[in-house]
Structure 1
């Protein structure tokens, strides 16, 4: 394997101080921050856990792209190419709760990310990231009586393409909505902080720009090629996984205002203008998509690499990760997403063998239940 892992990347000190500023204080004091966990967060205890033998939770799905758990333990799941959102119970029952007609599937686009309101029980809304005929956008829909209501656009105009649409959305420990966008195959946009392409965005739940965003717009970090995985640890530190081109798939530690290099630099070159990745893979071993934190590790679903990666977390800001460990190489095909089951020692991992690049097996696509030991 050609996996590399690195100490936290170099950066220009003056830029870092200016960008972090008040936002670092906000994150430290936010609800669910250092004392809690977000829906995509987990501990950094450094436990030496391993995944047990997976079992099928649900089968017969079509490119399940994202999912998040409802308060009762069921999950809402997006299907990229059908535009359906389905409800999956832990017992494996699958039922449709609605379709998102604004989504127009094609290439890597369609119905992509999904997030639930952070106060879902009192504010039952579902957020989705979709590719339309002219852009990528984020919609919000009420969820009442087990069904989706009419969508409301909270952000549009995100550049789209047949590939590199990003698409992961998640609420952070600060209660803000984060969205990963791709460069839409126009790489220069990633370095333009006035463009929404090639970024991680940060919004209020209503789609407004938070007052403390680093550039006065939706942009939180930039210089990204195609981020499709976001996760926070119990210290409110954000991690993102990103597709490289011919080289250098990445795990990055995200800082507000940070420049992650694309297309000028990739991986961990040690250039002071950019923030180095903390893990660098060859794309044949990864093509990292979904990410989650549980059991002291960052878990990363790999598409082309057809494996699940465990990246141990140290809790040390200067040396945040240990050496990655791979699991199930080639056993289940392309893996699209991984999510930690709330209040349990289990992951749900989904396949993506019907996405036009895989070789479907009987029962694909599926969601696997994976106990952690």
Structure 2
């Protein structure tokens, strides 16, 4: 987990009255003032970060394939750079990082990254062990292999722990039209596995299948899952990038089909059909398709990370989902009721284009919101506090 970091620069404070909103006038949850500070700079496409029990921070950089440990006092140390056969290309590289629930005793954490060895190329999830000196990590086990990969497009891979030893894995469809609805493919899915073994959880909807990947499937019909977040009630939510429209936030329900099916409809259609006749949630498919809890509408913001904020300082937005975006270079907070219905949205001006493209969104142990930028040069870790 994390803590305050010294030598913080570029502090920006804006009063709530100057923060823009995209919310209904009738909603009116009290908004806090936000303070934004730069924790670290000089990074390149930091994809994710995670806090350890001593409040040290693990940070991944996608294209560099570098994992860094940042101490609470601000000192940094490279844990590894481009281990053997780790692969980066396009949107794929070293992506999500998530500590095991028992990290304090096991020293274990998981990553999701591209892999290439000879004729084998995929995205996979690996369990590592950080040594006691926190100077290097040893590969313990490869939990999941065979997540589809092509050029690196739609290679998104997000991790979040659930209850017990459950690990949820959100994936991209690798720009292959049949993957999201094909239950034997790991692409365009949220998988639920045992964080120690990589096997499907016994209560998964398809656990009786003879296909090992299908046994892991929790939900399907996704396009490119970029973020996963666990709400205080235990529910898991995904942040998903849309095609030319309809970025989505989805509340995940076991066996749910979220309706992405970009396959040819007529002769002459592209093999990967992202046109107007391939909606993000296609209700023409057999069975029931689950609609998004929030969607961007006629444009795409390229939503990426997501986390639920907590603490009294967030006032009426305590428990809201904070969603970062790349193309729109902004942060949105989405306030849902207990049933998961959207009540209000807020787009703070302090994080609307100020720092460029925003990638990760992680709640820290100090109650602050931590974000990363993804501009490709001198990228930063930001700390956002509410008051």
TM-score by length of 1: 0.81
Does residue 104 of structure 1 match 2:78?
no
Change (3 A) 1:312 1:51: farther
1:198 to 173, 188, 201: 188
1:213 to 189, 204, 211: 204
**Aligned-residue RMSD, C-alpha:** 2.4
Secondary structure class of the residue paired with 1:220: strand
For residues 252-307 of structure 1, give each alpha carbon's deviation from its aligned partner in whole angstroms, at most 9, with x where no partner exists. 11001000000266456777721000111148552111110012100011000100
Unaligned runs of 5+ in 2: 1-19, 208-214, 263-277, 310-317
For residues 81-130 of structure 1, give each alpha carbon's deviation from its aligned partner in whole angstroms, at most 9, with x where no partner exists. 11111012344332212234132111001111111111111111121101
Check conservation: 1:244, 1:283, Cα contact below 8 A: no
Which residue does the alignment assign to 1:321? Answer: 342
1:224 to 216, 219, 222: 222
Check conservation: 2:160, 2:230, Cα contact below 8 A: no
Which residue does the alignment assign to 2:386? Answer: 372
Count of residue pairs the alignment pairs up: 322
- Aligned counterparts of 2:125 and 2:105: Cα–Cα separation in 1: 21
* Greater radius of gyration (CA): 2
Which residue does the alignment assign to 1:155? Answer: 144
Higher relative contact order (CA 8 A, sep 6+): 1
Which residue does the alignment assign to 2:312? Answer: none
More moved, 47-56 vs 238-247: 47-56
Unaligned runs of 5+ in 1: 6-45, 355-359
Which residue does the alignment assign to 1:178? Answer: 168
For residues 286-336 of structure 1, give each alpha carbon's deviation from its aligned partner in whole angstroms, at most 9, with x where no partner exists. 211111001210001100010011001222x1x532222112221110000
Moved over 3 A (4+): 46-51, 89-92, 264-272, 282-285
Which residue does the alignment assign to 1:339? Answer: 362
Does residue 301 of structure 1 match 2:324?
yes
Which residue does the alignment assign to 1:136? Answer: 123
Does residue 66 of structure 1 match 2:88?
no
Check conservation: 2:23, 2:346, Cα contact below 8 A: no
Does residue 119 of structure 1 match 2:102?
yes
CA drift of 1:208 comes to: 1.2
Equivalent residues in 2 for 1:277-296, closer than 5 Å? 277-282=292-297, 286-294=301-309, 295-296=318-319
Secondary structure class of the residue paired with 1:366: strand
1:89 to 55, 62, 71: 71
Secondary structure class of the residue paired with 1:160: coil
